Amino acid sequence: MIEQNKPEVLRMEIESLSRNEEFARVVAAVFMARMDPTLEELDDVKTAVSEAVTNAVIHGYESKGGIVYMEVIIEGQILTIKIRDTGVGIANIPRAMEPMFTTDPEGERSGMGFSFMEAFMDEVLVESEPGKGTSVTMKKKIKG
């Protein structure tokens, strides 16, 4: 018998490659499927994971590669996802989280990554230190 309230944890390390953005969001979605989420909740989480991993690939590691760490924790109805990199870090977190703020000179990036994470998850916590890396912790209650 599996204990119902024991937290279940998934830990994953992947190369910081753009093709792993899809891989990470699909893995998170498959793992959380046991929480019996609605399709909308699945989409919410996939989008938030995609944003966080894309940030790690583009900004954390400046597209030069590294390791992206993902941890997904299920505790009852609460889903927690941590995406972490050991890249360049963010000096000014409030500014980075401003809607439409982007460092991309080409203008091809919308600057809405953090706004989307906040819109689709209940809680988003960003911790970062320049030169050490960034960690994004997101929580969402899955009502199903």
Partner 1 sequence: MKKPLFTYEADGHVLIVHLPEELDHHNCTGLKFETDLILSENYIRRIVFDFSRTTFMDSSGIGVLLNRYKQMALSGGSVTIYGAGAQVLRILKMGGILRLMKLYDSKEGAVTS
Q: Which residues does the annotation mark as catalytic?
A: 51, 55, 109
Query: Is-contact 79 45, C-beta < 8 A?
Result: yes
Q: Which of 116, 121, 126, 134 binds partner 1 (CB under 8 A)?
A: 116
The yes or no reply on residue 61 touching partner 1 (CB under 8 A) is: no
31 vs 116, beta carbon nearer partner 1: 116
13 vs 106, beta carbon nearer partner 1: 106
CA dist., res. 55 & res. 84, Å (int) = 10
3 vs 21, beta carbon nearer partner 1: 21
Cβ 13 to partner 1 shortest distance, Å = 19
Q: Which of 14, 32, 58, 96 binds partner 1 (CB under 8 A)?
A: 58
CA dist., res. 119 & res. 131, Å (int) = 28
The yes or no reply on residue 3 touching partner 1 (CB under 8 A) is: no
What is the separation of C-alpha 34 from the centre of its chain, rounded to a whole number of angstroms?
19
C-alpha closest to that of 34 among 142, 137, 111, 135: 142
> Helix %, strand %, coil % for the chain, to 5?
35, 30, 35
Binding-site ranges for partner 1 (CB under 8 A): 18-19, 21-22, 25, 39-40, 43, 46-47, 50-51, 54, 57-58, 104, 106-113, 115-116, 119
